[in-house]
Amino acid sequence: MFKKNRGFMTIETVSAFSIWVMIAALMIPVYHQLELKAEMAKKEEAGYRILDEKISSYMLTGRYKPAETVFYQGAAYLIEWEEKGEEYEVCISVENRHDRQYCLAILKTKGLYPS
**CA 5, CA 110: separation in Å to the nearest integer?**
89
For residue 109, what pLDDT is reported? Answer: 75
What is the number of alpha carbons within 13 Å of residue 110 lying toward its C-beta? 3
User: What are the DSSP calls for 49-111, one per residue?
Assistant: HHHHHHHHHHHHHS---SEEEEEETTEEEEEEEEEETTEEEEEEEETT-TTSEEEEEEEPPSS
User: pLDDT higher for 33 or 59?
Assistant: 33
User: pLDDT higher for 3 or 56?
Assistant: 56
Query: Is the per-residue pLDDT at 115 higher than 70?
Result: no
The mean pLDDT value for 7-34 works out to: 90
Query: Is the per-residue pLDDT at 4 higher than 70?
Result: no
Average pLDDT, the chain: 85
**CA 94, CA 40: separation in Å to the nearest integer?**
10
Could you tell me the residue ranges of all domains in the chain? 10-107
The amino acid sitting at 69 is T
Query: Quick one: DSSP state of residue 2?
Result: -
Query: Is the per-residue pLDDT at 35 higher than 60?
Result: yes
Return phi, psi of residue 50, to 5°. Answer: -65, -45
For residue 102, what pLDDT is reported? Answer: 85
Q: Cβ contacts of residue 85 below 8 Å, gap of 6+?
A: none
**CA 89, CA 75: separation in Å to the nearest integer?**
22
pLDDT confidence bin for 90, thresholds 50/70/90: very high
